[in-house]
Structure 1
């Protein structure tokens, strides 16, 4: 391969530049603001290699920019998903990433506290990506990576500002490497110049100069590390400092919202249930969405969905505790979870879209398979059967992400629950019949009174459930219970009002007092269903606690004693005792007519037939033509645009969208917007007229008025009055402009474009100096 002479390929300089960029990435990662900062090293290396490659290539700068942009659109999202759950598919990873970004942007623009650091991570990744790509590009193509290096330096010093720590070696290393890079680039340019002029250079010259630069950099950094600081812009209450701080204050306020989740090295989970939960006094819950749940099929008849977070088995000191602390590691490759339940429960597939950060998983009652690694908190009943309490996440699921669960839905019939034998296994009786030592006798007597004429465990549960629904008023907030009285006793006999924590706790304790195993569950109720009944929107108001009751050979079954929740109706089923079916005892008695026994639903088989029929009719309602219509219209529109472009190209007519839009407005008699008129006018100008119009843009940028009717010479005269140090450029541009319009002489379009760029850049520099420096100190930048 022939070595190119129009490129700058200097290995020591490239390594120094890469080292400077990597030091910045390591410095940011060392703050531990979020666990995902580790990807910045990968962003740095890949971006630098791409920039270096395109800089050395034969591609022109414009084409290189387009190709780099295309690479960026693919690689940046890919790198941001590297730290995601590895079990997810690439599409799921991207969906979760975009979901997190969308949810965080919604929070940001609606003044809601931002809880996910994803925006901060994306911002840093893009800044570092742009810095290293163009650093590598400018290094190999121009031998001048100073602007990217400056941005990297600003990044590392800004990190020092926000993360106050002892003077660590990152900043010192960055300065040393930058000084060595400066010497290497100077050597590189000098060697190129000497070679061009035929100057003979000794072989060891580059090594000697590099070594001297390294020693000088070390000495300078050691000296600078002990200097107290820069005085001018950082002196307290100086005019420069006040002006600088005032300028950045608005930006700081907005940026603080994005960095709000980065208050420490760890991110606090928003939703998590610990080992104990108190009864509390309640609070007003809002309508903020926390979960959106999609299910693959209709809800089984005689059921309701409950999104379980954690179960609790021990009541002590006015709070619920979980004594189940056995941990089982679960991965996506693990076998399905095995529960002590009836094998004929319905199975559904659920997709949970989160709107809050999760530290544990919300699932249906009996999850079988989950696409997220987690720690299963469960009692090990036998070799492969567990009594599940909670699924604790190894990695936080951020708002906007999703996860999938396949699980059983308890759908026993009333007949099945009535016929269960009251012989409970030891693991149930040892854990789920516990009562506190000072359990009030009044509660036990009340439970016995309510259930005295009931023969089956199911009927006793229903009687207590209905008693609570009938006799206790739902109240979202209650006063603090008296100190000298058990809160459940006070709830049942004195206050007779409360919310779900008290309803569910009362039922669990009353059932245990008469020998029926039950436990406390916290999570969310079903939420609002869409018209099809397959998507559920769960809000804060759906936060809920409910009892689960154990039936031998069936498993845990939910009941609903809370008055604010709808009645939970179970299927009636068919009893194995013919006498029960004949005398109608399968149907509930009138005194329990408001809950599970009320209007007992027909048998499941009939509903399953109708479910199948409903699925068929639903699929027929949407013809394939209707589904394809939007795609056909889109393809037709694009094809029409392409044909118009081909036709205009053959006729030699350029394609200018603003002109076409303006003509469309005029043709239909509509009022043309001012911005469209200006855009259309601009695209009609010749290249030299466009370059000359830079003067008007500079006036607009500097907020100086332009009088309609000024000639070109008058416009330049006014420009020279305000920016006299640029008059050499403007007068030369006027000459070239007048050549093009008023004389047969041929103007120099390259010269007028160059003058235009110089005037624009110098005007911007002049305006920035006005902001940061007093006017007396401004020098003409000619």
Structure 2
């Protein structure tokens, strides 16, 4: 920098301060006889390696982790020594990697004892060499050959295990070999720790600790074991940056014979400790970017992390979920064969709060009709229904599943008591929240935006919601739509919906497609076509529970439509979904329970085993999924024809709105609180800490630092530095640049003040270089206050310049 040229002009003053420098250095050395700053820094590195290996070891399954710390410590010492020994990066990397591979191989193949036997055998042969040369006697190498054979056999066995493991990695096949996993982890830790040691020798804290921090973060994000070790490494990194930054500056000052206060050691220590504790505390107590969210995002795209499994990283324990069989079937088949079709056993009771108790058990109430959904299938495979990939997501209690309220939907509050729990929740419409923890298996997750539009929310696609609760309260949204709106709905289906819910297997016979088109001939919109299919099935096929299972080699829809011509709800729903898809209408198969009976005395729905049911749903853009009832044994679903005939909606329940507000506040705080904390720390630094630090520096050093910052910020405005440029020449160039920014009254005043501030700081710095007497405290206060104003004006000037150059 330009002012670096002027530092040699301090010679007159340096003679006066040389004694003070020597005295301060002697006092400092006497006070630091227990720990130098270098030793303190290396101690922090050792603690960081301990936290690193502790976090890694806690996340591994069946790992021999007792040696991890010592492996890292030895590797760090070798990396440190390689740097201090003058090796370049390539030489050190090759040597350390080779040493690590060799050590890991010896460890894995258990070659320590055979290698010792080989060494003893070689030593026993050495006395035989001279007689063999002089007298021609033979040399007994049998012991060497035996020892070598043992080494070869052990190495061959390990090589075979390694090849098997590598083949499994390449083929994404899990090979559970604890020995190979340990070898891989030891080698990884060896290389990472050697890197740390290499950059520790250079006192580069970020380069030294960032790789182990990233590795620990990656492991902790999957396992979530001992996550506090990652926080500890962050704290140690901040501390190490302060220690080594102080050491680097004091070395520069001593080399350049710059005077500094003998109390700066303690002032710096206070500042470093304060900032480390403050930032560490903010990182600990405020919400951060959730590793759980990142992990869940990745699991949406890969339901199983094979690499993590092979490396033995333990996944965070999760609630046991009932297995979903991939075998295609009709969901109600098992209920029919086990006598559930006529069972009066109560499965659950549901209270919605829409109607009060009648007070009379004999009063009949016309209660709203709801279907209680449990499982939603998307893939028809001819022999029945299966679900596409549906990665699970854990949802805490009282957490919205979708980040928004649905317009045109009726909010529905449910109090559910499960008499016979099935390991899942039941609800009507679109589930919004539940007051119990649950695991949702999503085929398509809701948008992550906190203010997503409704069409995006409606595309959320859930297989089912798993929970072991026996009672719960849930909030859901039920479509409150008219026939008129359904007829006017768009046919521009979202890509995700069309791709998934228009799929028909090639095994479906052509005659099914012909029937689908025949049924809907003359209908001009998706609703009327879907209604025509529903009516056709209800009028032409008899409801019958006593039917044989469909042949395994026959398409279920074809078998029901053309041969069986009778059946129960699964057949009706399957046929309607297939016929709708063949007409280009997205449809899906839903399994759960029909409304059951409404008990007016207790104001609740009584759902029994005989109410087990399946039905079809059709998708309408910007409206969502609408239920259709093709089964002949149940009444049609009644809908209002126009807006005027819509039934009155109950007063809005604030529960869903309150939950959504709280959810949004919490999500915003994930980003907002850390940003607010960082902003407050910046304000705290520039308001108090900066002034406190500068006023404790020697005046000459304080004004030099202020001028350095002025130079760095102002250099782009002043243009390229010329040869032998003085501080006043730099000032002239900078003020000339300010003249070019004076295009209005406000700017003229602002940059006139900036020119005044630049002259003041330049003259103060020049006086510190050449004046015989030292600057006083008041002059530093004035310079610091001036710099605070000038800094903002320099930043504004650079912004103007950057906009001009675009």
TM over 0.5: no
TM-score bracket relative to the smaller structure: 0.3 to 0.5
TM-score by length of structure 1 reads: 0.37
Ranked by relative contact order (alpha carbons within 8 Å, sequence separation 6 or more), the top structure is 2
Higher helix share: 2
TM-score by length of structure 2 reads: 0.36
